Amino acid sequence: MNDKRRRIDIVLEPEYLDDLAGLDLNEVRRRRDTAEDVESQISYYRRLLHGRMDLLDFELRRRAGEEERSLLEALPEILATGMVLGAEPNLKHIETMPPLPSVTGRRLIDKIMDDGILTNLPDLTEDEIHEAIDRLREVETQLSEQRRSLHQVIDTLQDEMVSRYRSQQDEAPVSG
C-alpha cells in the first residue's frame, strides 16, 4: 500500500477486505482499529461542520427576529448541541482529538474549515450565509457517505473476528 495516500482511501479500497480468512487475527484487529480511528476522525470533522451550520443557522434566525440573544450569548449552547446524547459524549472513542485539516490541503473540507466565514459573519448577506450553509451541507453529505462505508468495513472486520472467536470456542474441548 502506498504511504502517500490518505488512510481513508486505503481503508475504503475493496482490497482492504480481501482474503480476511487468510490474515492473522492481529492483522484483522489492526485493520479494524485503523478503520475505527478513521471513522472517529470523520465523525469529528462532521461535528465541526455541524457546529458551523448551527452557528450560521442561529445567525439567520437572529436576523429574522426569531432569536433575541446575541451569537456570543448563545455560543455555549450552540456548540454543546449534539455533543452529548444521554450521559455519554458522542465522541467518547476519540482519546486525542485529530488535528484540524491542513489549510493547505486540496480537499473541500480543508478549504471549508478555513474559509473565514465565521470571522466575516457580521458583514455577510443572508444569501452569502445560505450559500455557506449549502457548501457545508455538501461536505457533510460526503462525510456521511464515507462514514457509512467505513461502518461497513468495520462491521465486516468485526464479523471476521467474532467468527474466529466462535470457531475457537467450538474447537475447545468440553470438560466434564
Considering the entire predicted model, what is its pTM? 0.75
3-state secondary structure of 74: helix
Asked, for residue 101, whether it belongs to a domain, the answer is: yes
Asked, for residue 63, whether it belongs to a domain, the answer is: yes
Number of domains composing the chain: 1
- Alpha helices by DSSP H, listed for the chain, are 7-12, 25-63, 71-80, 108-113, 126-171
Asked, for residue 8, whether it belongs to a domain, the answer is: no
Asked, for residue 3, whether it belongs to a domain, the answer is: no
Asked, for residue 72, whether it belongs to a domain, the answer is: yes
d(CA 118, CA 116): 6
d(CA 34, CA 48): 21
The domain in which residue 117 lies consists of: 23-157
Angle at 72 between CA 81 and CA 50, to 5 degrees: 30
The whole-number average pLDDT for the span 126-139 is: 93
Residue-wise pLDDT for 11-45, tens only, equals 999 999 999 999 999 999 999 999 999 999 899 88
**Percent of the chain's residues with pLDDT above 70:** 75
Residue-wise pLDDT for 40-98, tens only, equals 989 988 988 898 899 999 999 999 999 999 988 998 888 887 554 444 444 444 444 45
Asked, for residue 89, whether it belongs to a domain, the answer is: yes
Residue that the C-alpha cell 485539516 belongs to: 101
Asked, for residue 87, whether it belongs to a domain, the answer is: yes
Q: Are the CB atoms for 36 and 93 separated by under 8 Å? A: yes
Asked, for residue 7, whether it belongs to a domain, the answer is: no
The whole-number average pLDDT for the span 148-153 is: 97
